[in-house]
Amino acid sequence: MSSNIYDFSTLTGAIHTWLSGLMSPGWVTFTEFVLIGLVFLLMYALLGLFLVYLERKVCAIIQNRVGPNRVGKWGLLQTIADLIKLLLKELIPIRKSDPLLFNLAPFIVIICSFLAMAALPYGKGLQAIDFNIGVFYVMAVSSLSVVGILLAGWASNSKYSLIGAMRSGAQIVSYELSVGLSLLAIIVFSGTMQLSGIVESQANGWWIFKGHIPAFISFVVFLIASTAEINRGPFDLAEAESELTAGFHTEYSGIKFAFFFLAEYMNMFIVSAIAATVFLGGWMPLHIGNWEGFNQIMDYIPSVVWFFGKTFFIILIIMWFKWTFPRLRIDQLLNLEWKYLLPVSLFNIVLIAFLVLMGWHF
């Protein structure tokens, strides 16, 4: 039913044919690698800039003020100005720290988020890497960023950074469980871990509608757990604990701090993209039953727009959390995971398995 939506594989196929006409297959592959790499780098940077600006504007609206509006029209160039400032800052080296680990940590964090971004389905025919263990791959790769955080805390040679990093590490590792279990729920429904397969299985309706109650529970659990994963919102004790000690990235300045900062926003994007793909149908347009006319109109909107629209919807929800709720204490945070979210997710899995066996879903 979604076969009317524009298929980007015609475009990519055309580029491939054109390049094959120009050079030998080895070089074609190499050129394509370079092209895709450049496209992703560009998208990463632009999305990062835009997300920082969006956060400041959303924050301002919630707080009844205007936000950046001086630098460029509507303040659009504000992030670029901030970036230039960060680039020009002095890189303060720390004595008696391990220079290799100290410099390696921000790179690990950025590389992990790049790796995860590469596997997302941005539109029909627009997916760079389509593993058959797609969801598993994305989760595994985003877990690697914990290593970067712990390295940053350790290599800073400061007891406070270490405490902050340990807490952040404990938080991330705990909430991994809930994220995994909630994604597992949809994998049970769709029967495949391949991201394009999950999207295809939502051709006749998004899983959040088809899977009714258990899918909704999974969605809520996923939202909460992933906000904790990315150290945001009411779970940002590790970095906003700067009332007493500062977080794991205190000792970083300049471009290295910019990496941590950027990686945090891009992680938010990745997590929202996963939620949009798995629960809200990815690039699938909203089709309602047999309303052919409505479905035709929905098909006109390109799949990329659908994907980004849904992702930004979830990003806005995550931002809304941060600016409304006070912070949780670390023990309350871990309590929430181990005593509430984990049992709920486990029960949910059993429920879903039962539902799938009985065929009681749409």
Partner 1 sequence: MTEEIIKDVIVGENEDYIINMGPQHPSTHGVLRLEVCLKGETVKYLIPHIGYIHRGIEKMCEANTYQQIIHLTDRMDYLSAHMNNEAVCMIVEEAMQVEVPERVKYIRTILDELNRLASHQLWWCAFGMDLGALTTFFYGLRDREMILDIFEESFGSRLLHSYNTPGGLMWDVHPNFQNRIKEFIKYFRKKLPEYNQLLTGNVIFQERAKGIGLMSKETAIAYGVTGPSGRGSGFACDVRKIAPYGAYDKVQFNEILRTEGDVFARYEVRMDEMVESLSILEQLVDNIPAGDFTAKMKPIIKLPAGEYFKRVETARGELAVYVVSDGNKNPYRMKFRTPNFSNLFVMNEIASGYKIADLIAISGSLDLVIPDIDR
Q: How far apart are CA 146 and CA 89, in angstroms?
A: 26
Nearer to partner 1 among residue 30 and residue 325 (C-beta):
325
Contact assessment for residue 333 and residue 202, using Cβ atoms and an 8 Å cutoff: no
Encoding tokens for residue 106? 């921000």
Q: Judged by CB, which is closer to partner 1: 127, or 161?
A: 161
Report angle CA 150, 44, 23 to the nearest 5 degrees.
120
- Strands 121-123 and 126-127 come out as antiparallel
Rounded to a whole number of angstroms, the minimum distance from the CB of residue 92 to partner 1 is 14
- Please check whether residue 280 is in contact with residue 208, taking contact to mean a CB–CB distance below 8 angstroms: yes
Contacts of 1 (CB under 8 A, 6+ apart): 203, 204, 287, 295
What are all long-range contacts of 13-18, with beta carbons under 8 Å and residues at least 24 apart?
none
Per DSSP, the residues of 215-256 read HHHHHHHHHHHHHHHTT-GGG-HHHHGGGTS--TTTT--HHH
Shortest spacing between CB 123 and partner 1, in angstroms: 36
The minimum distance between CB 305 and partner 1, in angstroms, equals: 31
Summarize as ranges the residues that interact with partner 1 (CB under 8 A): 59, 62-65, 159-160, 234, 236-237, 240-246, 323-332
CB of 253 to partner 1, least distance (A): 13
- Give 118 or 166: the residue with its C-beta nearer to partner 1: 166
Residue 168 CB, shortest distance to partner 1, in Å, is 15
Instruction: Give me the helix-helix angle, 99-118 and 25-62, nearest 10°.
Output: 100
**78-87 vs 254-278: helix axis angle to the nearest 10?**
140
Give whichever of 240 and 346 is closer to partner 1, judged by the CB atom: 240
Q: Which two tokens stand for residue 114?
A: 């790049």
Q: Which is nearer to partner 1, 176 or 236 (CB)?
A: 236
- 127 bridge partner residues: 121
What is the smallest separation between the CB atom of 325 and partner 1, expressed in angstroms?
A: 5
Q: How far is CA 137 from CA 77, 117, 193, in A?
A: 35, 11, 9
Cβ nearer to partner 1, comparing 141 with 155: 155
Nearer to partner 1, 3 or 64 (CB): 64
CB of 64 to partner 1, least distance (A): 6
- Chain-centroid distance of CA 100 in Å reads 28
Please identify, using beta-carbon distances, which residue of 234 and 282 lies nearer to partner 1: 234
Question: In this structure, are residues 306 and 284 in contact, taking their beta carbons and an 8 Å threshold?
Answer: yes
Alpha carbon 313 to its chain's center: 13
**Closer CB to partner 1, residue 62 or residue 84?**
62
How near is the Cβ of 267 to partner 1 at its closest, in Å?
A: 20
Min dist. Cβ of residue 77 to partner 1 (A): 22
**Residue 83: φ, ψ to 5°:** -65, -45
